[in-house]
Amino acid sequence: MSIGAASRIDLSTPSPEARARALFVQAFGTEPAAMAFAPGRVNLIGDHVDYCDGLVFPAALSDGCVCAVGPRSGEICAVSAEIDGEPVVDVLSPLTPSDLADLPGWFGYVAGTYEVMRSRFMPGAGGVNIAVASEVPPGSGLSSSASLEVSVATALEALWGIRVDPVEKALACQKAEHEFADTPCGLMDQLVSITGRAGCAVSIDCRDRSATPVPLPPASRASFVIFDSVVSHANGDGGYAERRAACESALPKLGVASLRDFPVEGLAALPADLTDAERDATNHVVTEIDRVRRFQALLAAGKLAEAGALMDESHRSLAEVFRVSCPELDTLAEIVRTQEGVHGARMTGGGFGGWVVALIDTPKIDEVEDAVVRAYRRATKLETTHRVVRPGDGARIIKS
């Protein structure tokens, strides 16, 4: 386990836009030709279902990553405000992951996004200088990786004078992450980073890739607040890949092409030949997709207590059935959930650490935050930080 120093953000630093621009000028001695912003995200409900054709309900944050770009002759060179180094690679056609083998891992997200965007939408594009600066803490479940990829892809659109369809852009970023960062992610993070809308969460159907903004309750009444567990258990020792594999291998035994097609009623009589891992995966995924549907309906009807109860249920399923939580996350979710004014609380993201998201009556937020900080410190000796989620718009060009 690592205690996530990386998950703290100094809010006194200048905006990521100012930092990306300054970094670009410092590294490359000229103003960037184009700049773009792409947000991180928090998933309100529907975790570990995006890779099963499921339904998810994330919101884009108002925090994100800014990418500044400019032309360079024959090479891709990148700098990050958050990480030392200035990796460079020749523009090869095609650029492959093995060309990046000796370069730092984060460069894979950047050069990979360049390569997929170039090969699909701008064959023959020249080299680039890239500077990024982010306010999304890396590796903690708020999707710093997608905001990085989407900011790079969007800055390249501006630089190259092209417009790429939102779903195609999300798929290009996902492919970059699969192939150049070796992470078999779903499409949710990239899609919400592109299609987010202020004041809304985005209802995403991972099967047909539709993304529909849905207004959240008025901020004066209730808000989503996220609390950092301050731990990250490095992908749960391969736990993510194992869980995905169980979702796959259950399918022939269940007689469906996707867990999305398996009815909730069928859970009462699952086939006997499922392994324990396949049974747990089926139970979690099928009930979680059902919870997303019900959550959206309850929220739209203003039934916050009932919606919150589904968040609690979702946490229980992730922790006890799918087992992707950890003791600190469970402790934090329990502390948050039991405060007055909180409708529900759950871990969010891939798990094994990261953040808890809660639905809280807005007038109660300050009181809840104070109580949670104290109780989490008492229970774990860790200092949680928190942010009120102010759902923002998706990726945008800042300069072209």
| Residue 91 interface partner, choices Mg ion, ligand ADP, none, CB cut-off 5-8 Å depending on type | none
- Distance in angstroms (rounded) separating the CA atoms of residues 202 and 194: 10
| Residue 80 interface partner, choices Mg ion, ligand ADP, none, CB cut-off 5-8 Å depending on type | ligand ADP
- Distance in angstroms (rounded) separating the CA atoms of residues 31 and 25: 6
Binding site for Mg ion (CB under 5 A): 143, 145
Q: Exposed e or buried b for every residue in 118-149, given b needs 16+ CB within 10 A?
A: beebbeebebbbbbbbbbbbbbbbbbbbbbbb
| Residue 106 interface partner, choices ligand ADP, Mg ion, none, CB cut-off 5-8 Å depending on type | ligand ADP
User: 282 vs 325, which CB is nearer to ligand ADP?
Assistant: 325
| Residue 344 interface partner, choices Mg ion, ligand ADP, none, CB cut-off 5-8 Å depending on type | none
Rounded to 5 degrees, φ, ψ at 13 are -70, 155
Rounded to 5 degrees, φ, ψ at 340 are -70, 135
User: 193 vs 384, which CB is nearer to Mg ion?
Assistant: 193
Task: List all residues 6 or more positions away from 366 whose beta carbon is below 8 Å from its beta carbon.
Answer: none
| Residue 128 interface partner, choices ligand ADP, Mg ion, none, CB cut-off 5-8 Å depending on type | none
Angle of the 304-316 helix axis to the 276-300 helix axis, nearest 10: 170
- Distance in angstroms (rounded) separating the CA atoms of residues 67 and 325: 32
User: 14 vs 105, which CB is nearer to ligand ADP?
Assistant: 105
| Residue 193 interface partner, choices Mg ion, ligand ADP, none, CB cut-off 5-8 Å depending on type | none
Q: How far is the CB of 215 from ligand ADP (least distance, A)?
A: 26
Q: Of residues 133-172, which lie at the interface with ligand ADP (CB under 6 A)?
A: 134, 138-145, 148
The binding track of 66-105 with respect to ligand ADP, each residue x by CB under 6 A or -, is --------------x-xx---------------------x
Among 24, 37, 57, 109, binds ligand ADP (CB under 6 A): 109
Q: How far is the CB of 82 from ligand ADP (least distance, A)?
A: 4
Q: Of residues 48-67, which lie at the interface with ligand ADP (CB under 6 A)?
A: 65
The token pair at 272 is 């006997």
- Distance in angstroms (rounded) separating the CA atoms of residues 54 and 322: 16
Tokens 């944050």 sit on residue: 61
Is residue 106 a contact point for ligand ADP (CB under 6 A)?
yes
Cα–Cα distances (Å) from 286 to 91, 206, 246, 259, in that order, read 44, 14, 13, 7
Q: Catalytic one among 47, 63, 189, 312?
A: 189
Task: List all residues 6 or more positions away from 67 whose beta carbon is below 8 Å from its beta carbon.
Answer: 20, 35, 36, 38, 130, 131, 132, 148, 151, 152, 154, 155
- Distance in angstroms (rounded) separating the CA atoms of residues 288 and 321: 11
Q: How far is the CB of 33 from Mg ion (least distance, A)?
A: 28
User: 134 vs 195, which CB is nearer to ligand ADP?
Assistant: 134
The token pair at 204 is 């995403």
The token pair at 357 is 């998201």
Q: Examine the residue annotation and report whether 312 is marked as an active-site residue of this protein.
A: no
Closest to 32 measured CA to CA, from 78, 63, 75, 74: 78
Is residue 47 a contact point for ligand ADP (CB under 6 A)?
no
User: 344 vs 350, which CB is nearer to Mg ion?
Assistant: 350
Is residue 37 a contact point for ligand ADP (CB under 6 A)?
no
| Residue 58 interface partner, choices ligand ADP, Mg ion, none, CB cut-off 5-8 Å depending on type | none
How many residues sit close enough to ligand ADP to count as binding (CB under 6 A)? 19
- Residues with a catalytic annotation lie at 189
Under the rule (CB under 6 A), what is the footprint of ligand ADP? 65, 80, 82-83, 105-106, 109, 132, 134, 138-145, 148, 183
